Amino acid sequence: MRKFEKISFEQFTKDINSDKNLYQSDFLPKRSSKNSAGYDFFLLEEITLKPKEKKVIPTGIKARMQPDEFLMLTIRSSIGFQYRMCFSNTIGIIDADYYNNPKNEGHIFVSLENQGDQIFYGKKGDKVFQGIFMKYLTEEDHPEKERTSWSYLEEKENEK
Identify the burial level of 152 via C-beta atoms within 10 angstroms of its C-beta, where 0-12 means exposed, 13-18 middle and 19 or more buried. Answer: exposed
At 25-77, the pLDDT tens digits run 999 999 999 999 999 999 999 999 999 999 999 999 999 999 999 999 999 99
Residue boundaries of the structural domains of the chain = 3-137
pLDDT class of 138 with cuts at 50, 70, 90: confident
Q: Does residue 157 have a pLDDT over 70?
A: no
Report whether CATH 2.70.40.10 matches the domain 3-137.
yes
pLDDT class of 158 with cuts at 50, 70, 90: low
The mean pLDDT of the chain is: 92
DSSP track, 125-156: T-EEEEEEEEE----TT--------SSHHHHH
Q: How many CB atoms lie within 10 A of CB 131?
A: 24
Q: Does residue 156 have a pLDDT over 70?
A: no
pLDDT value of position 139: 85
pLDDT value of position 160: 65
Percent of all residues in the chain with a pLDDT value above 70, rounded to a whole number? 91
pLDDT value of position 141: 78
pLDDT value of position 92: 94
